[in-house]
Amino acid sequence: MRIEGRCHCGNLGFELETARTWETIGPRECDCSFCRAHATRCVSDPEGRAAVFVADPERLVRYQFGLRTAEFLVCGRCGVYIGAYAEEEDGGLSTLNLRATAHRDRAGAAVSYGPEAAESRRARRRDRWTPTELRLGVSPPAVHAPG
């Protein structure tokens, strides 16, 4: 399936291509204070592919906190959080926020990553996040009606 997301104003967007189903992709709700503030519900697939589109890079906030091992992509115009992105040696990885999609109300499972050290956090992301191309200066494609 393809999961398409947009921020509220359309400056940021993403497409996630996955062979998984809603049962196997397992939306997750992280319990960190950032994710709770946004009611984040994220999905990723290490065997899938994703692209993140940023029409106006001047209006992209790449927020970092804690271990600073990833960037939390927030629209600088409408304030919507669309997902987290990490640049690794062999390319980008992401976990993307279902709240910015038509599937925002699908149930998620609570997860907690608080006690991880930086290296185990990176290893988990390599295992679970989606290989992702960050496309700066490219407008998100039109979102299709959910199937």
Residues that bind Zn ion (CB under 5 A): 7, 9, 11, 75, 77-78
Q: Which is nearer to Zn ion, 67 or 136 (CB)?
A: 136
Residue nearest to Zn ion (CB): 75
Q: How far is the CB of 45 from Zn ion (least distance, A)?
A: 25
Q: How far is the CB of 9 from Zn ion (least distance, A)?
A: 3
Instruction: Give the single-character DSSP code of 46.
Output: T
Q: Which is nearer to Zn ion, 38 or 122 (CB)?
A: 38
Write phi, then psi, for 57 (nearest 5 degrees): -60, -20
First to last CA, the chain: 10
Q: How far is the CB of 106 from Zn ion (least distance, A)?
A: 22
Q: Which is nearer to Zn ion, 7 or 50 (CB)?
A: 7
Q: What angle do CA 42, 39, 127 make, to 5 degrees?
A: 25
Contact of 91 with 6, CB cutoff 8 Å: no
